[in-house]
Amino acid sequence: MATRQKQQISVLVMSTLAFTACFAVWVMFSVIGIPIKDELGLSDTQFGLLAATPILTGSLIRLPLGMWTDTYGGRVVFTLLMISTLIPIWLISAATTYWHFLVLGLFVGVAGGSFAVGIAYTGRWFSQERRGFAMGIFGAGNAGAAITKFAAPTLVVVYGWQAVPRIYAVAMAVVVILFWFFTYSDPSHRVGSQVTIRQQLSALKDIRVWKYCQYYSIVFGGYVAISLWLTRYYISEYGFGIQTAALIAAIFVLPSGVIRALGGWLSDRFGAHTVTWWVMWTSCICLFLLSYPQHEVTFHTLRGEVTLSLGLNAWVFTLLLFIVGIAWGFGKASVFKYIGDEYPENIGVISGIVGLIGGLGGFLFPVLFGLLVDLTAINSSIFLFLFGATCWSLVWMYSTEVRGLKNLKLIAARGDELSKRDRP
């Protein structure tokens, strides 16, 4: 019989591996969608919908998956989820028309629901003092997007895009076997049968849950959306080939996924609010700079016209995006630190709700990106949109947390002053 500590480590490692595999599959169209776009002659809006279709299913299913995890346990739910994706992943290689890809993308998108299962399954194995760090390590499975950025372009160039879903299907089958044999179940982690679905869904009435949904739609939804769009952005904006574009895009994707574990540790140490506050401010500044389009300014001087070319070159752009990725990596962990601290008894449901809304951001943003680019013909307009959404998060955080904390301190100070006056 394995000791409790060995069980914890095994569950954490295998859950992180499984989530990494699921995330790699979930964003597969961010790379193979580019040759499919050329093959089918798709517009930017159609490409955005293709890349985002798996995100829709993976988002919508997070809430029921979180509830099922609370009820039946994470090991069973996670295993069945991965098995359900195997055939759709393989069939993508045989698709020939646009609607084939969209329908199969909906089924493959179930892999994205793995987050709601794994975060609840993993979190319950650890105490509150270590939960933020453990959930941060699990969340580092976001780096599965980087695996797709590294591996898929080479496979596309050497073997054709059809090889990617076939190899991913085989890899997922291997992960399913490993997960089942090296994870454990703890009946005490399940909610009692007396807890009804209505009681579980009562969390939707809590305004704090919706606030955390807003935060997560930026730090996770924005991360997914940019991960899906970035390879195409580098090709269109800077003229890179698909392999170079995907490799540079990994500078954003990989650190943002891996750094999540450090974000969990920081949230344990300094608190979820402090980390999230600085995440939003950092994001706001960088997104504002990223939103500036390539442009020229002409000055009419006594010696004639002087034209200055302004805008971000590829390396400054990548540096700013790297900073945003690091900030969002911290933010993805800090948001779930809020949840782990405030909702320890129904973490599956709350994480499902927050993950659902955050994932919907990952679905809607790429579609909006495509619409913005089609309407404005300005690639950087996507960052202006994200800048506005981040500003709203800052306003909400200030009005409910920063100002609220100041009011509490003021009330406490007045209470101390009154108590001193009452002393003889």
Closest to 337 measured CA to CA, from 404, 405, 276: 276
Per-residue pLDDT for 406 more than 80?
no
The pLDDT, as a whole number, for residue 404 is 58
With b for 16 or more beta-carbon neighbours within 10 A and e for fewer, the 329-353 pattern comes to: bbbbbbbbbbbbeebeebbbbbbbb
Tens digit of each residue's pLDDT (9 = 90 or more) over 273-294: 889 999 999 999 999 999 988 7
Residue 358 to residue 361: CA distance in whole angstroms: 5
State yes or no: pLDDT of 85 exceeds 60. Answer: yes
- Of 230, 173, 201, 209, the C-alpha closest to 382 is 230
Model pLDDT for residues 258-270, shown as the tens digit of each residue: 787 788 788 888 8
Q: Is the per-residue pLDDT at 423 higher than 60?
A: no
What's residue 342's pLDDT?
A: 79
> What value does the mean pLDDT take over residues 231-236?
89
pLDDT above 90: residue 175: yes
The predicted structure's pLDDT at residue 411: 46
What pLDDT, on a 0 to 100 scale, did the predictor assign at position 25? 93
Q: Would you list the domain boundaries of the chain? A: 4-184+207-297+307-422
pLDDT at 6 over 80: yes
Give me the pLDDT at residue 273, please: 86
Residues 28, 112: Cα–Cα separation, whole Å: 11
Task: Please say if the pLDDT value at position 408 is more than 50.
Answer: no
User: For position 77, what pLDDT does the model report?
Assistant: 93
- Strands 295-301 vs 304-310: parallel, antiparallel or unpaired: antiparallel
Q: Which helix (H) or strand (E) holds 304?
A: strand 304-310
Taking alpha carbons only, the member of 334, 362, 321, 24 closest to residue 218 is 362
Please check the confidence at residue 416 and state whether its pLDDT lies above 80. Answer: no
DSSP summary character for residue 344: S
Q: Cα–Cα distance between 63 and 138 in angstroms, integer?
A: 18
What per-residue confidence (pLDDT) applies to 134?
A: 82
2 has a pLDDT exceeding 60: no
Residues 204-230: pLDDT tens digits? Answer: 777 888 888 889 999 988 988 898 888
Distance CA 388, CA 332 (A): 19
Q: Say what the pLDDT of residue 193 is.
A: 53
Average pLDDT, the chain: 84
The CA distances from residue 39 to 47, 96, 97, in Å, are 12, 10, 10
- Model-wide pTM > 0.85: no
Query: Is the Cβ–Cβ distance between 61 and 75 less than 8 Å?
Result: no
The answer to whether residues 119 and 135 touch, using CB atoms and an 8 Å cutoff, is yes
**Residue 381: how many other CB atoms lie within 10 Å:** 17
Superfamily classification of domain 4-184+207-297+307-422 = MFS general substrate transporter like domains (1.20.1250.20)
Each residue's pLDDT tens digit, 369-396: 889 988 888 888 999 999 999 999 898 8
Mean pLDDT in residue range 308-321: 86
Per-residue pLDDT at 413: 47
Averaged pLDDT for residues 94-104: 94
What mean pLDDT is predicted for residues 3-11? 86
In Å, how far are 41, 108, 194, 364 from 166, measured between CA atoms? 24, 13, 44, 27
H runs (alpha helix) in 260-346: 260-270, 272-290, 314-342
Separation between Cα atoms, residue 161 and residue 261, nearest integer Å: 32
Would residue 133 be called left, alpha or beta, if left means φ above 0 and alpha means ψ between -120 and 50 degrees?
A: alpha
Alpha-carbon span 358 to 70, nearest angstrom: 20
**Residue 409 confidence (pLDDT) above 60:** no
d(CA 331, CA 81): 26
